[in-house]
Amino acid sequence: MMVAPGRVIWLEGLPGAGKTTLADALVPRLRRSGRVADRLDGDEIRRNLSSDLGYDREGRLAQARRVAFLAEVLSRNGVFVVVALITPYQASREEARARLGDRLLEVHLACPLEVCEARDPKGMYHRARAGEMRHLTGIDDPFEAPEHPDLTLRTDLLSVEECVGRIERAL
């Protein structure tokens, strides 16, 4: 059976911007609407595919490249893929676009650093400020402003429900 390709909903943004929360809400919603859907998150991919990679620029570019490949293989088999990955570099977003074309829906979860840091769901900002970890995006690692996102969601102003609705309408 040849299936229609799925879409790749690529959630990018600072740690604490709400990528995981939104992916958690989005995947079941996509399934309820009759799609085959799954998520790829940075941590799962690092554990299984990328334990060799670091968090410097090269490591992050390679990680995003692998995620884009995996998303391509899934989406060409009809799966709607929700990617939750910081994706701090514009070069990665452009590579994903080149690979995925119209299948890609690039969604920037825009949330001020202060809000992300106050949320600090994994305690990483705390550790970075205490000098206990390096390469935290937003603190001592850059997050380049997305140049051509398909959608920008102010997750400090919108509810999760509103974000899900906007993504569904954009698909």
91 touches a second copy by CB under 8 A: no
Alpha-carbon distance of 30 to 75, in angstroms, equals: 14
Place of tokens 């569904």: 168
77 touches a second copy by CB under 8 A: yes
Residue 110 Cβ vs a second copy, minimum distance, rounded to whole Å: 29
Which of 24, 61, 78, 151 is close enough to bind a second copy by CB under 8 A?
A: 78
Which of 76, 122, 129, 134 is close enough to bind a second copy by CB under 8 A?
A: 76
Alpha-carbon distance of 83 to 12, in angstroms, equals: 8
Which of 24, 57, 70, 150 is close enough to bind a second copy by CB under 8 A?
A: 70
SS3 52: coil
Burial 103-133 (b: 16+ CB within 10 A, else e): bbbbbbbbbebebbbebeeeebbeebeeeeb
Residue 91 Cβ vs a second copy, minimum distance, rounded to whole Å: 17
61 touches a second copy by CB under 8 A: no
Residue 36 Cβ vs a second copy, minimum distance, rounded to whole Å: 5
